[in-house]
Amino acid sequence: MLIIILLIVIALVAWSLHLMQEAIGQQEFSLMLAGTLVAFSAAALMGVYFLMGNYVGYIAQISHNAVYTSQPFESLAWLSEPLPKETSSSESLEATQNISIDAT
């Protein structure tokens, strides 16, 4: 993959230099601007390639260092607990009134 991207970057740089030579020969500012933009795109392509290479390496390192155990995760522990008994609204109202009476 690096060879393909390197060939693309070399082609972009060669095209940029060609545009800049034409700009000097014809005294044309727009060709110089186009050559500069093509050169910046080649540099950006290499920058993105190296940034993504570092990111993918980092993610791969994290996945290799992960330790998997047979115990459930703490954040998912509630899945193994039984569901609470459903109460009607009148029962919950009575329970709330009993708590408020006991507190006084």
Rounded Cα distance between 20 and 30, Å, is 10
Q: Domain ranges in the chain?
A: 1-73
- Look up residue 68 and give its two tokens: 């998997």
| One pLDDT digit (tens) per residue for the chain, 104 residues | 789 999 999 999 999 999 999 999 999 999 999 999 999 999 999 999 988 888 888 888 777 766 554 454 556 666 666 766 665 556 666 666 666 555 55
Q: At what angle do helices 2-26 and 29-65 cross, to 10 degrees?
A: 160
Residue 54 Cα to chain centre, angstroms:
13
Other beta carbons within 10 angstroms of residue 28's beta carbon come to 13
Give ∠ CA 98-100-104 in degrees, rounded to 5. Answer: 115
